[in-house]
Structure 1
């Protein structure tokens, strides 16, 4: 059985490019718990809050429930559920999962494969990260689910992976003249820029192209906040700051809150600005809540 192919083909709810990382987040969480204790079962009532935090922080802006992936991941052959009444999930209702003592864990065949081939766990985890989340979030997401992975290798993890265009970073940074489009940061060591990154507006993992019209040159801080939905860009190319962001320190006000309504810095004349369709995707799929006035 090709577990990488099965991982890549998880059935997910989709509509007009809507993000639905519910199953990938549950799988990453389960892999982290498998590393800790390969034989443990995960009682829904005990891990519900953990899963809800993951969905709130790394899922789509609309509110959702961890009961959905806990029940539906069974259909992908990678997860099993048992209740006080025996094998099988009682349904996707939160109350049903709680009152029946529902527990879940990786499917027996997958657990056996992970024991036979220790590297498989890391390959599955990296495939989930690559297919569903931007690179800026990989490290902290692994920490959030308790996954301990070796440094990433350049090898191809699966034939289903798209090839990134390595020229995009240089093209985007050049278009924005090596300055953060939000704050203007332009640090260098000698001639080498430091702390500047090419951010995909429409995430590459969700079909966003490696193209200047889908990119922003951002400093490391603002890239992370952009991918977490704290910051966005409106159709007039002005910075959005989520009302959900809370920061009382002078640094938080200066580096985040004060950006609200500020026009983007760049791109330089002749370079393509971010396309409207990519801005619309980010606003609907990543940006959290309403923007500050």
Structure 2
């Protein structure tokens, strides 16, 4: 990659890594599911009127939106609301790589290579250490909710891969339509009309800025740059940058929120990232190689991006 494009990739990782802290700060003023509805309304509108619908059929778009957008991010927002540290959340969410490998093996028969099996095993061991280390000093429920978010994202990955969607950006925009109404309805049910009304009529500057950052910066601008890089370069040249996201996320939470991970959490995170690297960074991408060649670079971005 050229220096210019490497710097652009680094910029995207900085945006995506800080995204977790930005979300966490915004949740201080807005209930999580309402905040989610606000974000994805801004992702979908007004672009849905200008970006063509992906050639995957409504069923696949709704399925991807249900798991990759609604399921993943509702659980992510809820986990942060329940007290999940933002930096640790950026790390635990990367378990989606491990889950995707396992689910793809069973659902679309993409049997992992020996390297991927070893990487997934190492990553799982590191993840288990993170969960145990965190559970020693804090409630483990938010971590389990985060794992649910990673699992939902992995299911969405496999659906998107099987569908062979032709445009990653169009899938982001159109699948975002699945989120606002269910999220708003659940928020009204869980939080009550009074709380939802109060939040909407008393939006703070932090909540507005957070919504704009997550929708425009993280989802649209960040994804657009990452997608263009995948269209220009091989996945093996671009995807390794994703491993910087949890590092940026942990560092940002450390500086902004004084979130200091324990030694065991850092060790477990390092082991997990090593496993993820072993499973995803390889010159010989044998798993599903024939099928991967049939999928556009923009669809690969759906499988590689850490957050949208």
Kindly indicate whether structure 1 or structure 2 has the higher relative contact order, using CA contacts under 8 Å at least 6 residues apart.
2
Q: Which structure has the larger Rg?
A: 1
**Do these two structures clear the TM 0.5 threshold for a shared fold by scoring above it?**
no
Q: Which has the higher helix share?
A: 2
Which has a greater percent of strand?
Answer: 1
TM-score (norm. length: structure 1): 0.25
